[in-house]
Structure 1
Amino acid sequence: MNRHPRQNYLPNDFFLAPKPIAQTAGSMDYRQIVSVMVGQMLESAHAAGLDRYEVAARASRLTGQHISKAMLDGYTAPSRQTFNIPLWIAPVLQVVCGCSELAEWQAENIGGQLLLGADTLDAEIGRMERQRIGANKRLRALRNLSERSA
């Protein structure tokens, strides 16, 4: 399978800008990859004690729309290339299954990085630290100019 590997962000490269995948003709048919990822998401839920019937029931309650076990089975079948998971159901299944790998994969494909929970605070702290460092450099430069002109 042609799954793009997830990037591992180490602390020293956390603020490097991720790049989107190359736009090569015919390289972005993600139907099989998405099917496998949804299957892995449902396997994780099963390992946590939720079978597909329960996942379908919870997703149905959360959306107010009927989502069946048969639909989930179809979303995980790479052979059913015209039956991928609809975008509106993906975040619901991620919440029910307690997985974010599909959203992380999507973000990486377009050159981003998904941050959840405390990671969002850490990223904001890092952004503000960079701003502070830049402001301090600017202040030093202005002070030097002020001292020279006095």
Structure 2
Amino acid sequence: MIRHRHSDDLTGDLFAFPRAAAQIDGTMDFRQPVSVMVGQMLESAHAAGLDRFEVASRASRLTGRDVSKAMLDGYTAPSRGGFNLPLWLAPVLEVVCSGTRLGQWHGEVVGGQLLLGAATLDAELGRLERERLQVAARIKALKDLSRRVR
């Protein structure tokens, strides 16, 4: 019987191993991609009914610090490399915009992935299953050794 592999755009490679970005001089200036991602996040929020004024207002309330629409505009301008999104504000904007684009990207850059909700439980269950199998294999090996020594 011949098996045909069917691929789709949603599944992804289940066996892909995350790797950190290569540490090559001059390749890790992430100001422009961060600006683009912040812009995309704000566009998605706008499509869901939140304009930049509302995003800024909510971020200001959540942080207790002034976050203005002008600041958001600056964070989304790749040409303003010196005015990039500060790390402390990234999770706040993700919460306000109901997105995880920055967190997912950050995880990928450092060689991991962002797991949320039930996926974190699944990952922990998988880790514990691997440990259980390793312990079971070790116990079996010790029992076999014990039988041979007697």
Normalising by structure 2, report the TM-score. 0.88
CA shift for structure 1 position 146: 2.2
1:99 aligned partner:
99
Q: Whole-Å Cα distance in 2 between the matches of residues 103 and 53 of structure 1?
A: 23
Give percent identity, aligned residues only: 64
The alignment status of 1:47 with 2:47, answered yes or no, reads yes
Deviant stretches of 4+, over 4 Å: none
* Unpaired runs of at least 5, structure 2: 1-10
Q: Whole-Å Cα distance in 2 between the matches of residues 148 and 83 of structure 1?
A: 69
CA shift for structure 1 position 120: 0.6
SS in 1 for 2:87: coil
1:1-150 matches, cutoff 5 A: 10-11=13-14, 13=15, 16=17, 18-150=18-150
CA shift for structure 1 position 80: 1.1
Q: Write the letter of the residue equivalent to 2:61.
A: R
Normalising by structure 1, report the TM-score. 0.88
Cα RMSD, aligned residues only: 1.4
Number of equivalences: 140
Show CA shifts across 1:87-128 (max 9, x none): 111110011001111111111111121111111101000000
SS in 1 for 2:49: coil
Q: Whole-Å Cα distance in 2 between the matches of residues 137 and 9 of structure 1?
A: 31
